[in-house]
Structure 1
Amino acid sequence: MRTVDVIVLGAGMVGTSTALQLQRRGLDVALVDRRQPGEETSHGNAGIIERNGFLPPAFPGDAKFLLNIALGRWPGANYSLPAVLRLMPWLMAFRRHGSRTGVQRLAHAMNALEAYAAGEHRVLAEAAEALKYYRQTGAISLYRTEAGFEATAAERHYARIFGVDYHELDELDLNELEPWLTADGCRGIFWPETESVSNPGAVTKAFARSLAEKGGEIMTGDARRLTRSQGGWAIATDKGPVRGRAAALCLGPWSMDILKGFGYRFPLAVKRGYHQHYKARAGAGLSRPVVDAEMGYVLAPMEKGIRLTTGIELAERDAAPTPVQVERAFRKAREIFPLTVPAEPGAWMGSRPCLPDSLPVLGAAPGESGLWLNFGHGHCGFTLGPVTGHILADLITGVPPVIDPAPLSPLRFL
């Protein structure tokens, strides 16, 4: 049986980053997933490393807005009624965390994490020879109405408090930054400290290759087979059984498949999302991601074309894809940017692991010696993977954490 210091379960951005951060501290690591690295949620996101995501996604309270969602008129959301009914307790908890106190708590916690996020990405990307994917061109949040722009007052307030740079834009400013946008009557915010990448899945795979090149093991295995073994943890893999003195669970939307077997009841919900790449009119392009905030989708320039990523779908995690949001968002996107035809045959679907306070769970699993948790990053897994990996590696090795992990403690839900 192969013995390592830590078995890391999950090979997305959070898991690969955690494995690399542990390896940088001199630990022997095995990275285990049922698929190859970077092929689930970390493959299909908008590739944004945020420096402006201080607030939770807005809870729809306006009756007209709710009616538009119910009737399928808003591209930012889709739902399965049985899934919504099952998730009702989670949705109510999410709404409670949207109080002023809850928002303030989230904003301060996210600022602390995001302040380190881009730097931690660069450290790992440089070691993995993946800096070629990174862009420091900022990102744009676009608002089609003055009311939509004014609704960002709280986010701009926190940006000023935290010293995060931003620029308010009118339609002429938008066209200076992105000449191919049709921004008549629009407002915007430019976030110059936000970064992005041209291929999120390739970045995650590069991180995994870096781990292997420096002696880490990448194995295929079913995390549900994790068991206690001789004071540590063991799992069967394609390379035979492996035993770890500790195990770190970084399984995103699949985390509760394992944790419920150990008696944990973390309120983890899944929001599904889709993306598809499109071609643009000859000569047209984007230099940075554009978030069409009131329509609930993102346009992001990628190696394969312009990636359109959708908002949320409340449906069972493993149900068949229903990519109706892609077409709805495509129609809206063509109003502001000259997309033409798909650059690939179909839409991709992934799942976001979300907790009601919009923060991940990070720390020691209560009551289970040597089991560590790092999951539930919601819409920010790509942004936060390297920094939460750093924090967890600090905790596992007994080093004072680079950031106070108290707001992320598993104990807040137990």
Structure 2
Amino acid sequence: MPDVLVLGAGMVGVSTALALQAQGQEVVLVDRTSPGHETSYGNAGLIQAEAAEPYAFPRDFASLLRVIFKRGNDVNYHLDALPDQWRPLLGYFHASAPARHQIISRSYAKLTRRSTADHAPLIAAAGVEALIKREGFRKMFRSVHEFDHAVDQAERVARQYDLALRIMDGAELAAAEPALKISCAGAFHWLDSWSCSDPGALTQAYADLFIARGGRVQTADASSLEQDGRMWSVGVHWGRLAARHVVVALGPWSPLLLRKFGYHIPMLRKRGYHRHYKGGTTLNLPMLDVENGAALSPMRAGFRVLTGAEIARFDTPPTPVQMVRAEQAARELIDLGEPVEAEPWFGNRPCMPDMLPLVGAAPRHKNLWFHFGHGHQGFTLGPTTAALLAEEIITGQVPMPELSPKRLS
């Protein structure tokens, strides 16, 4: 009988399985699909060591009006999602007050600072160095006004968190990225971050490493989770698979499962879209087109264009209006080529109102562990928070109490 069931085979779940396995635990990784095929597949492929301060809710009047009236492309929302999401949104707004956001960022920076170091041994052991580029990424500005306005903030973040930053003017950016068709004001080149040309393949490689080290992956429906005395089990084709501990690492699906055990998780779900393009030019490094709310990432599958956040009901069909605008913006920048997929991919980012993931023991159930709510940074932070959770499960010590699920109560 295994010691631990880990529910969810995205980057967070696979990293959890590896961390517990390294502590001598017999672990079974449980998912309805193969590893790395949900949210962990669809991101920009960045391991963001520079992301010391999480995305805050806009609080100035001009920015709020821009969101409310959908004047930008970074945020879209559906009115029918607001009855379900207004409480998390209100909590997010409250946590984004400058003083609170700085406190949260001090904790967040502890995680992002070690993210590349925590990925590095897994990348080496899995033999996937070819997927990784250790040259950072760029935030690009088209407008001189927006660029000049953002410089002070970028320099403050770099100083405060000891991050490597190169501020590039338009000529330097054009020299670094000759495929650009237009003149831009400049860019911030964050040098500490890494990029991955196939996020799904990296997650799968970590899962293969887990299996090679003696782990097991089981196809099952996490919604079948039940508690029987001191044991936890899920239904499989031959009966029930049981273990003493269970880790819920289901990303945006975690609250749906935990509701059956009496937990009401105030999660904000931010939907994002992407699409690949082939036959055009590409960029040397991933780039964020700040004014257009679009990320551009060179990938093995093609040139990936990604959108910002959409607030929508879980069951709402895709409404890729942001994807249309992001594609238009990308075509202004480079010769994009033609789309690879018939329709854009979309997935949901699991965001907590206070912007910190839930990592640790469930408040009311013994040996039930939460590991989700990483927002935009599950791919970045999976190995880091997995190490923290494994430490708590094995030793009983809580390395970062501010991440504990007990804060929900």
TM-score normalised by L of structure 2: 0.94
2:199 aligned partner: 200
SS in 1 for 2:180: coil
User: For structure 1, which segment, 117-126 or 351-360, has the greater mean C-alpha deviation from structure 2 after superposition?
Assistant: 117-126
Which of 43, 56, 59 is matched with 2:57 structurally?
59
Contact map agreement 2:50 2:113 (CA 8 A) in 1: no
Instruction: Say if 2:407 is the partner of 1:412.
Output: yes
Structure 1: give runs of 5+ residues left out of the alignment.
none
- Cα contact 1:166–1:189 (8 A) shared by 2: yes
Partner of residue 167, structure 1: 166
Distance across 2 between alignment mates of 1:305 and 1:86: 36
Task: Specify the code of the residue in structure 2 equivalent to 1:296.
Answer: G
Is the Cα contact below 8 Å between 2:7 and 2:30 reproduced in 1? yes
Is the partner of 1:93 in helix, strand or coil?
helix
Separation in structure 2 between the aligned mates of residue 10 and residue 368 of structure 1, nearest angstrom: 19
Report which stretch shifted further, 22-31 or 88-97: 88-97
Shift of 1:86: 3.2
Cα distance in 1 between the residues matched to 2:56 and 2:118: 28
What is the one-letter code of the residue matched to 1:317? Answer: F
Give distance in 2, aligned partners of 1:42 and 1:238.
26
Instruction: State how far apart, in whole Å, the 1-side matches of 2:406 and 2:330 are.
Output: 42
What does 1:115-154 correspond to in 2, within 5 Å? 115-149=113-147, 150-151=149-150, 153-154=152-153
- Quote the Cα distance in structure 1 between the aligned partners of 2:226 and 2:373: 22
- After superposing the two structures, state which structure 1 stretch, 335-344 or 90-99, moved more: 335-344
Count of residues in Structure 1 that have an aligned counterpart in Structure 2: 408
CA RMSD of aligned residues (A): 1.9
Q: Which residue of 2 aligns with 1:318?
A: 315
Q: Is the 8 A contact 2:39 2:348 kept in 1?
A: yes
- 8 Å CA contact 1:171, 1:183 repeated in 2: no
Does the Cα contact within 8 Å between 2:158 and 2:165 map onto a contact in 1? yes
Q: Give runs of aligned pairs for residues 114-263 of structure 1, distance below 5 A.
A: 114-149=112-147, 150-151=149-150, 153-182=152-181, 184-238=183-237, 240-263=239-262
SS for the counterpart of 1:123 is: helix
Query: Is residue 357 of structure 1 aligned with residue 351 of structure 2?
Result: no
- Larger CA deviation: 237-246 vs 38-47: 237-246
Measure the CA separation in 2 of the matches of 1:71 and 1:100. 24
Are 2:8 and 1:10 equivalent residues in the alignment?
A: yes
Query: What is the Cα deviation at residue 14 of structure 1?
Result: 0.2
Alpha-carbon separation, structure 2, partners of 1:238 and 1:286: 47
TM-score, structure 1 normalization:
0.93
Task: Give per-residue Cα distances to partners, 1:372-396, cap 9 Å, x unaligned.
Answer: 1110000001000011111111111
C-alpha distance in 1 between matches for 2:59 and 2:329: 23
Contact kept in structure 2, 1:55 and 1:155, CA below 8 Å: no
Judge conservation of contact 1:137–1:287 (CA < 8 Å) in 2.
no
**Distance (Å, rounded) in 1 between the aligned partners of 2:373 and 2:334:** 33
Deviations 1:125-178 (A, max 9, x none): 222222221110210011222343323633431321221111111101212322
Residues 220, 234 of structure 2: 8 Å contact kept: yes
Q: CA deviation at 1:36?
A: 1.4
- How far is the alpha carbon of 1:189 from its aligned partner? 0.6
Q: What corresponds to 2:88 in structure 1?
A: 90
Identity %: 39
1:166-197: CA deviation from partner (whole Å, max 9, x where unpaired): 11111012123222124524221101111010
Give the C-alpha shift of residue 242 in structure 1.
Answer: 1.4
Secondary structure in 2 aligned to 1:334? helix
Deviation track 1:297-341 (CA, whole Å, cap 9, x = no partner) reads 100000011100110111011221111211111111222222122
What's the CA shift string for 1:389-413, capped at 9, x where partnerless?
1111111111767xx4122111222
Q: Residue 26 of structure 1 aligns to a residue in which SS?
A: coil
Aligned 1:69-108 pairs, distance under 5 A: 69=67, 72-108=70-106
Of 144-153 and 64-73, the range deviating more from structure 2:
64-73
Instruction: Kindly provide the amino acid, as one letter, of the partner of residue 126 in structure 2.
Output: A
Aligned to 1:303: 300
